Amino acid sequence: MSDSQTATNQSTTEKEGVYTFSKGIPGFHEITEYMVVQQITPFSLLQSASHPETSFIMIDPFVYYPDYEFELPQEVVDELGITKEEHVVIRNIVSWNKKAEHRTVNLVAPIIFNIDNHQAKQIILQNTQYTIRHPLQPNVAKGGEF
pLDDT of res. 138: 54
CATH number of the domain residue 73 falls in: 2.30.290.10
Instruction: Give the angle 34-63-66 at the CA atoms, nearest 5°.
Output: 115
Q: What is the pLDDT of residues 3-45, one digit of tens each?
A: 344 444 343 344 458 999 999 999 999 999 999 998 787 889 9
Q: Domain for residue 59, yes or no?
A: yes
Q: What is the pLDDT of residues 85-125, one digit of tens each?
A: 999 999 999 999 898 889 999 999 999 999 999 999 999 99
Q: Domain for residue 126, yes or no?
A: yes
Of the listed ranges 78-82, 125-129, 141-145, the one predicted with least confidence: 141-145
Q: Domain for residue 146, yes or no?
A: no
pLDDT of res. 59: 95
**Number of independent structural domains in the chain:** 1
Report the alpha-carbon distance of residue 68 to residue 102 in Å, rounded: 20
Q: How many C-beta neighbours within 10 Å does residue 107 have?
A: 21
Q: Domain for residue 38, yes or no?
A: yes
pLDDT of res. 16: 56
pLDDT of res. 134: 92
Residue 145 pLDDT grade (very low, low, confident, very high; cuts 50, 70, 90): very low
Residue 1 pLDDT grade (very low, low, confident, very high; cuts 50, 70, 90): very low
Best CA proximity match to 110, nearest among 9, 16, 1: 9
Average pLDDT estimate for 75-85: 97
Report the alpha-carbon distance of residue 88 to residue 11 in Å, rounded: 10
Report the alpha-carbon distance of residue 114 to residue 15 in Å, rounded: 10
Task: Find the domain containing 95 and state its range.
Answer: 5-141
pLDDT of res. 17: 83
Residue 140 pLDDT grade (very low, low, confident, very high; cuts 50, 70, 90): very low
Q: Domain for residue 65, yes or no?
A: yes
